Amino acid sequence: MDCGAIKGIADEDECGISAFANPTLRPIGGILKSYPEDFEVRELPLPHEVSGQLPLDELPYLRFRLQKQGMDTLEAVDVLSAACRVPSRHFGFAGIKDSFAVTTQELTVPRELLSETAVRKAAAETELKVSRFRPCASFLAPGMLAGNRFILRIRDVRVSEKCVGEAMESLRCRGFLNYVGMQRFGKAGVRSDLLGLAYLRGDYEQCVDLLLRQSDAGGAYNEHHFGTGPSARVPRWAEVFKRTNSASAALRAMPEGARWTERRLLTALLRRQDLDGGTALKTAEGAPLTSPSSVNDWADETPQSAWWEATRDAFLTLPKTIRAYVDRLWNLSVTERVTRLSLSEPVRGDPLLQTGGYFSFDYCYF
C-alpha cells in the first residue's frame, strides 16, 4: 500500500491505478513511504552543456545541487529565495520533486545575483543542503533532465524470501506499468487532479474553494473514512477563510512557513482585498458567483463577477496545475490498455521507448 492512499487523499482506484503487468503473481504486501527516507529521488541531468568560447568565469549562471525533504521543490525554492533575499523566479529547476521523500536535484541562479558563498550561507539557515557548485551557460527550465532514479524501501513485507525473489524476477522480465504514483494526486487533503480539471474549465472560484476552503478536497475517500462534518480534516486557517472570506485572517491563522501554494494564493488575494479596502474579500451577494462555461464565453462582453476576476487573477500567480489531471487520464488509459488488450506484444498507438542514448518516445504504427 502506498501511504499516500491512507493520508486522506484518495484511493488508488480513484486515480486509475488498478491493473498489473503480471496479474498472476502473488502480492508481496508491504507499505511504501512510511517515512520520507523510504523514498529517495535523484535527478539525472542531461549531458554537460556546451559553453561555447566563454571561459568559466564568464558563464552567466551558477548551478548547484539541492537536497531536501519534507517539502516539494516549489516550497524549497521559496525557502531558499527568502533566505537569499532574491525573488524565487530567478531560480531555475528541471522538475518538481516530491515532498514526502529525500530528493536531490539541480538548480540554477544568475551569478550576478548570488555567489556560491551567499547560497551556502543562506542554505545554512534552513533545512536544505546544497553542494557541487559550478558555473553554467543556461538557465534550468522544466523538462531539462534525463530522468530520475528512485530508491524505494518497502516495510512490513510478510511473505517468504522466495516470493520476493519471484516478484523481482517478474519485474526484471516483464517490467511494470508506469503509473503516475499517488503523490501526484494530492497533498494536505487537496485533490490536485480535481484542481487541474477546474483550471481547465476556467472555474477559478472552484480552484480557490478546493485550495482555501478545502471543499470536496478528498472526494468520496474522505467522506467514507473521515466523515463530512465541517471540521473533517480541515485545518484551522481554512475554517477561518471559509467563515470570514478574509485573506489576512487566514494568513494569520496559518502556521509560519507552511503551505507554500495556499500561502501564495492568499497573499495574492490579500492584495486584492487591500485594493478594495476593508477586512474581507468582496463577493457577489444574493446571487451565485458564475464563471464562464466555455472558452467562447470569455470573449463575451458581459463582465464577470468581481469575485471571479479576483480568484482568476490570484490563481494565475501559481504554477500551472493541470498536470495532475492529465496524469490521471494517463493512468486510466494505461488501465484500459492492459485490461482490454494483451501485454504480450505492442499494438497500434503504444508509445515505444527508443533504446540507446537518452529517452525519446515514438508511437507504434502497423
Tens digits of residue pLDDT in 129-139: 999 999 999 99
HEC assignment per residue over 31-84 = EECCCHHHEEEEEECCCCCCCCCCCHHHCCEEEEEEEEECCCHHHHHHHHHHHH
Does residue 327 belong to any structural domain of this protein?
yes
Is the same domain home to 247 and 185?
A: yes
Is the same domain home to 228 and 113?
A: no
- Of residues 185 and 114, more confidence is placed in 114
Q: Which residue has the cell 496559518?
A: 254
Is the same domain home to 214 and 349?
A: yes
In the annotation, is 98 catalytic? yes
In which band, very low, low, confident or very high, does the pLDDT at 7 lie, cut at 50, 70 and 90?
Answer: low
Where among 102, 123, 147 does a domain terminate? 147
Residue of 98, 193, 203, 209 with catalytic role: 98
| Phi/psi at 311 (5° precision) | -70, -40
pLDDT in tens, 77-86: 989 999 999 9
The region that residue 251 occupies, defined by phi over 0 for left and psi between -120 and 50 for alpha, beta otherwise, is alpha
Does residue 35 belong to any structural domain of this protein?
no
Q: Structural domain tally of the chain?
A: 2
Where among 105, 126, 147 does a domain terminate? 147
Does residue 4 belong to any structural domain of this protein?
no
Query: Would you say residue 295 has pLDDT above 50?
Result: no
Cα–Cα dist 171/179, whole Å? 14
Is the same domain home to 143 and 183?
A: no
Does residue 22 belong to any structural domain of this protein?
no
Rg of the Cα atoms in the chain: 23
Comparing CA positions, the residue from 18, 85, 78 lying closest to residue 260 is 78
Does residue 127 belong to any structural domain of this protein?
yes
| Owning domain of residue 130 | 40-147
Length of the chain (residues): 366
Is the same domain home to 251 and 317?
A: yes
Is the same domain home to 227 and 337?
A: yes
Which helix (H) or strand (E) segment is 308 a member of? helix 306-315
Average pLDDT of the residues in 120-136 = 95
Does residue 34 belong to any structural domain of this protein?
no
Average pLDDT of the residues in 271-293 = 64
Question: Which CATH number is 58's domain given?
Answer: 3.30.2350.20
Cα–Cα dist 243/22, whole Å? 50
Is the same domain home to 246 and 346?
A: yes
Which helix (H) or strand (E) segment is 336 a member of? helix 323-340
